[in-house]
Amino acid sequence: MFLVLATEVLLLSGCGFTQPLVPGAAQSLSPGSSQDQVQGESFKAYKVQVVHVFCAGINDAYAKFTATGRATGPFPGKFTANGVWQRSTLFRHNGWSLNESFTITSGVNTVVGSITGSGGTPPNRITCRQFGATSVLQYTSNDGSGAASTTGIAEGVLGESLL
């Protein structure tokens, strides 16, 4: 799950020229770059706050959350996340979704991105206070995109990985 950058200077192509990326310098890859430096990043938070909840019936839920914790992987440091999860069975619609934005601060580097997912019958337990584990998520960031997974959001704990 973790990747370690083994070089001191990476070269990026863009706009017809090569630009060095030096760790410790405030810079990041362009969106849509063929390089994916954030792959292998993991987030862990132990003080997740569910800040708004709406529940209608036993299977319908809408919750907003915030989280702050530790990022490990290519960009170790602090991460913050804000998001919404929901599940609905209203009007014969059985679906779920997760939409989250995150920021990683690693030294002078900043990675900004999102994690999203949705589907029909939930692959996990979704209630007003918890979002269960799933690996059917996607991430996008200023440093790459790909698959994502979560161990869930429950009892104040969040765990996520950018695969």
**Is 160:43 a contact under the CB 8 Å cutoff?**
yes
State which H helix or E strand residue 51 sits in.
Answer: strand 49-56
Write the pLDDT tens digit of every residue in 114-127: 999 998 877 678 88
Write the pLDDT tens digit of every residue in 74-98: 999 999 999 999 888 766 667 889 9
Q: Which of 16-25, 55-64, 96-105, 114-123 has the highest mean pLDDT?
A: 96-105
What pLDDT sits at residue 127?
Answer: 82
**Is 65:85 a contact under the CB 8 Å cutoff?**
yes
**Per-residue confidence at 34, pLDDT binned at 50, 70, 90?**
very low
Does the structure show a pLDDT above 90 at 35? no
Arithmetic mean of pLDDT over the chain: 78
Does the structure show a pLDDT above 80 at 142? yes
Does the structure show a pLDDT above 60 at 1? no
Q: How far apart are CA 108 and CA 122, in angstroms?
A: 38
Does the structure show a pLDDT above 60 at 156? yes
Q: What is the pTM of this model?
A: 0.75
> What are the CA-CA distances from residue 105 to residues 55, 70, 142, 150, 152 (Å)?
34, 10, 13, 20, 22
What pLDDT sits at residue 58?
Answer: 67
What pLDDT sits at residue 71?
Answer: 97
| Torsion (CA) 26, 163, 139, 120 in degrees, nearest 10 | -170
% of residues, the chain, pLDDT over 90: 47
